[in-house]
A = this chain, B = another copy of it.
Amino acid sequence: MSERDEREIRLGEARRLSQLLICVAEQAKAGFAAAVAPFGLPVPLARAFLTLGSSAPMRDLADRLACDRSYVTSLADQLEERGLVARVPGDDRRVKLLALTEAGEELRERMSTALAEQALVLRRLDDADRAALAPLLEKLVGDDEAGAPAGW
């Protein structure tokens, strides 16, 4: 088999694996949406809510979500309307922290559990599979940057 053929085959397999990965990702996304829907939060709001630890400067949230500060303002407005977070003044008086309210903490606990329970990795894989998967995913994410351990 020629070098060229080998390269072709390798590329073809990469394609197939990539597609599988995307497929899994889409199912995971759908799973997230489904798990979160009963709690009445639209997906982006839920993501922000869960990414926010129990308290963080708005700026930090923008970094973790990789979005603009102005969008965080809008997310914060919506979360505040729902009584899930409160803006509390920071040490530096330019800064505002977003802090979970009591209701927020409680909801986070419930959502977090619901999410884990329906996780694809739990429903489709056994212990051995999960043990094998973890290091592969770690290699895939690399040690680039972010890794944004998200709070949930």
Give me the interface of A with B, judged by CB distance under 8 Å. 10-25, 27-29, 32, 112-113, 115-117, 119-122, 124-125, 129-130, 132-134, 136-142, 144, 146-150, 152
Copies of this protein chain in the complex: 2
What separation, in Å, do the CA atoms of A28 and B145 have in the docked complex? 14
By CB atoms of chain B within 10 A, which of A11, A17, A116, A140 has the most? A140
A121 touches B14 (CB 8 A): yes
A136 touches B141 (CB 8 A): no
B136 touches A10 (CB 8 A): no
A67 to chain B, nearest CB (A): 13
Contact partner, A136, options B112, B136, B142, Cβ 8 Å: B136
B122 touches A14 (CB 8 A): yes
Look across to chain B and name the residue whose beta carbon is closest to the beta carbon of A66: B26
